Amino acid sequence: MIDLEYIGINGLLYPNIETGMENIENDLSKYGLFRLRYLHKYKFGMYRELFLTGKLAEHCKQIDKTAFDRSERIQADWLTAHPMTLEDTMERIRLRTQAQTIADEIVFAELIYT
């Protein structure tokens, strides 16, 4: 059960909820927004609990930061294993795109969709 504080207005009690969701879409990047949408669509119980306790924004920000850091690390490791040639621009673009795709696939499976 969630313990909430209430405010009495004109004889009625209203829950005192601060969502912390003001301008959340401006504060999050790709991974945090995907996590927010995933929770809302597929894990609504968890979404509702985090929302009502005021922890949803912080949760999404933490996932966003963790996912971004992990993605950067995966890309760097993959590009180290597959060095780019300086003379072939299209090959560099292909390798960079492939590294991003691999990193996204791993991050989404391990952090976003859990």
Instruction: Give the pLDDT confidence of 32-89 residue by residue, as tens digits.
Output: 999 999 999 999 999 999 988 889 999 999 999 999 999 999 999 999 999 988 889 9
Residue 100 resides in a domain: yes
**Global pTM exceeds 0.75:** yes
Q: Are 17 and 52 in contact (CB under 8 A)?
A: yes
Q: What is the DSSP letter of 83?
A: P
Query: Does residue 64 sit within a domain?
Result: yes
Q: 49 versus 25: which is more confidently predicted?
A: 49
Question: Would residue 52 count as lying in a domain?
Answer: yes
CA distance 8 to 12: 5
**From CA 4, how far away is CA 96, in angstroms rounded?**
48
Residue 1 included in any domain: no
With H, G, I as helix, E, B as strand and everything else as coil, classify residue 53: coil
As beta bridge partners, residue 9 has 12
- Give the distance between the most distant pair of CA atoms in the chain: 75
d(CA 53, CA 37): 18
What domain count does the chain have? 1
| Containing structural domain, residue 57 | 6-112
Q: Would residue 31 count as lying in a domain?
A: yes
Confidence of residue 8 (pLDDT cuts 50, 70, 90): confident
